[in-house]
Amino acid sequence: PHAASPRERIVSNLSSDRTRTMVSSRTEHTPLLKEEAPASSAGRAVRWAAAAAVGSLALFAAVSVGQMAPGAALWAHPGAALGASEDSLAAAESHRRTAAANEAESTQTARNMRDAKEMADAVLAEAEAEAERLAKLAAQKRKDFEIAKAETVEDSEEATSGIQALEDDAMAKDAELTSRTTAYEATRAAYANSTAAIVTLGEELKKATAAKDAASAVHDKDLATATTAKQTADDLSKQANALNAKTQADPKTGEVTAEEAKKRAEEVAAAAGKAKAAEIVAARAEKKAADSADAVAHEELLVKTATEALDAEKSRNKRLAVASTQAEQDMIQQSHQTSLARVAAADAKSTAETGFYNSSSVQSEMEDAAKKAEEDAALAANVAATRAAEAKKADVVAKAAEDAAAVAQSQLALAESEVKVEQFKIAAEKNMIEAKEK
């Protein structure tokens, strides 16, 4: 092995850098030509142009170094020079293969971009024609709507004449119906409340009567008890008085012993105490009977009040029944008259407004059609503007792709020239070896 010459080191370094640039450009940044977007193609074209510039500089450096190599070195060491030239040829052929691949790919990309530009131009022409057609259609629809709008105004003026008096009459009768309906509802509610009050007052009368009867039963029992207690008290009082008089009038009084006299006095006192106790019980019984008599009187007053209230409500209920019937009849009659007025007004209005409704419907349809046509036209204009921008962008991308293809072709020519130079050098070195051997 021999030390690499300056030319070989330069060619090797530049070739290695260019190879890495080309491989990176092809494998890491660009998809297949037929599938990539125009924006990506533009970027690839720029990258290929840069790579071609680097390759051209490498080839220029290699050729310049080769031209500076002195012939004396080749003559002094023809074998070593031949080996170095063969290595240089291999590197040059590798560069040529890479350049050929890049040139084929860039040429195909340029062709694809031209096709894309032609397609974009065709789509743009179609979009512009459609936008123009829809704009004319929208203008015609707007004109039709304005005509329909004017006709609707005329029909509206015709529809409002001749029906105002009928509508006013119908509204007046409707107001009267509302008044009579309100009066009937109030009378009917009062009659219903009165009917319910009769039931309630009847129940209250029953309760009051039952309470009076219960109080009367209690009073009768208390009165009987008081009468019995009074009779008992009177009998015991008479007996006590008789015993006292008899004891005092007894001839033995004053002649009996002290113990017997004391005993006779105790008997008189016991009879008097018993009579007094009976009088107290009788007085209490009479008081209770008097209280129960007051309770009976109170309950009788409640029964009287409940009876009078029930009778008054029944009388009022009869009057309310008559008033409710009359109010209902008035409401029915007014409802009939109001219905006739409403039908007459509605029929007149329907007849008068038929034309207006038809023209209004036509106007609405025309307005919707005009708005829809204008929306379609605006959308088509936006689409055409978008297609114009796309066509412009496709033109830029196509030109960039063509420039990149031209650069790649130049790079391929340079690489082929480099191969030829190396081939000539090898031939020259072989001739020197043969000459030296002779």
pLDDT tens-digit series, residues 205-224: 999 999 999 998 998 888 88
Burial of 324 (0-12, 13-18, 19+ CB in 10 A): buried
Q: Residue 135 in contact with residue 353, Cβ under 8 Å?
A: no
What pLDDT shows up at residue 322?
A: 93
Q: Residue 409 in contact with residue 104, Cβ under 8 Å?
A: no
Q: CA 7, CA 249: separation in Å to the nearest integer? A: 186
pLDDT tens-place string over residues 411-438: 888 888 888 888 787 787 778 777 777 6
Entry pTM: 0.35
pLDDT tens-place string over residues 303-361: 999 999 999 999 999 999 999 999 999 999 999 988 988 888 888 777 777 776 777 77
Decide if pLDDT at 64 tops 50: no
Alpha helices in 77-163 (DSSP H): 78-159
What pLDDT shows up at residue 198?
A: 92
Taking residues 87-105, what's their average pLDDT? 78
**Phi/psi at 36 (5° precision):** -85, 155
What pLDDT shows up at residue 158?
A: 60
Decide if pLDDT at 28 tops 50: no
> What is the Cβ-side half-sphere exposure of residue 159, based on CA atoms within 13 angstroms?
19
Of 171-175, 192-196, 216-220, 419-423, least confident by mean pLDDT is 419-423
